[in-house]
Structure 1
Amino acid sequence: MLKNAIALATLLCAATVASALEVNKATPAELDGLNGVGPATSKRILDERNAGPYKNWGDLIDRVRGIGPHLAEKLSGQGVTVNGELYKSTAMTKAKATEPASKEAKK
Structure 2
Amino acid sequence: MPITLKGLFAALFLSLSLGISSLALAQDITPINVNTADAELLAELPGIGPSRAAAIIEERENNGAFADADDLTRVSGIGPATVDRMRDQVTVTE
TM-score (norm 1): 0.54
Instruction: State the alpha-carbon separation in 2 of the partners of residues 58 and 83 from structure 1.
Output: 14
Instruction: Determine which of 4, 29, 41 is the counterpart of 2:52.
Output: 41
Instruction: State the alpha-carbon separation in 2 of the partners of residues 72 and 43 from structure 1.
Output: 16
Confirm or deny that 1:57 pairs with 2:79: no
Greater Rg over alpha carbons, structure: 2
Instruction: Determine which of 19, 22, 29 is the counterpart of 2:30.
Output: 19
Query: RMSD across aligned C-alpha pairs, in angstroms?
Result: 2.1
Instruction: State the alpha-carbon separation in 1 of the partners of residues 46 and 70 from structure 2.
Output: 20
Q: Unaligned 5+ residue runs, structure 2? A: 1-25
Listed one character per residue, the Cα deviations across residues 60-105 of structure 1 (whole Å, up to 9, x for unaligned) are 21x201111110011114x112338xxxxxxxxxxxxxxxxxxxxx
Instruction: State the alpha-carbon separation in 1 of the partners of residues 45 and 68 from structure 2.
Output: 19
What does 1:1-107 align with in structure 2 at a 5 Å threshold?
Answer: 16=28, 19-51=30-62, 52-61=64-73, 63-77=74-88, 79-83=89-93
Task: Assess if the C-alpha contact under 8 Å between 2:35 and 2:60 holds in 1.
Answer: yes
TM-score (norm 2): 0.61
* Counterpart for residue 9 of structure 2: none
Q: Secondary structure at the match of 1:19?
A: coil
Count residues in correspondence: 68
Partner letter of residue 81 of structure 1? T
Instruction: State the alpha-carbon separation in 2 of the partners of residues 58 and 36 from structure 1.
Output: 15
Instruction: State the alpha-carbon separation in 1 of the partners of residues 60 and 46 from structure 2.
Output: 20
Q: Unaligned 5+ residue runs, structure 1? A: 1-11, 85-107
Partner letter of residue 57 of structure 1? A
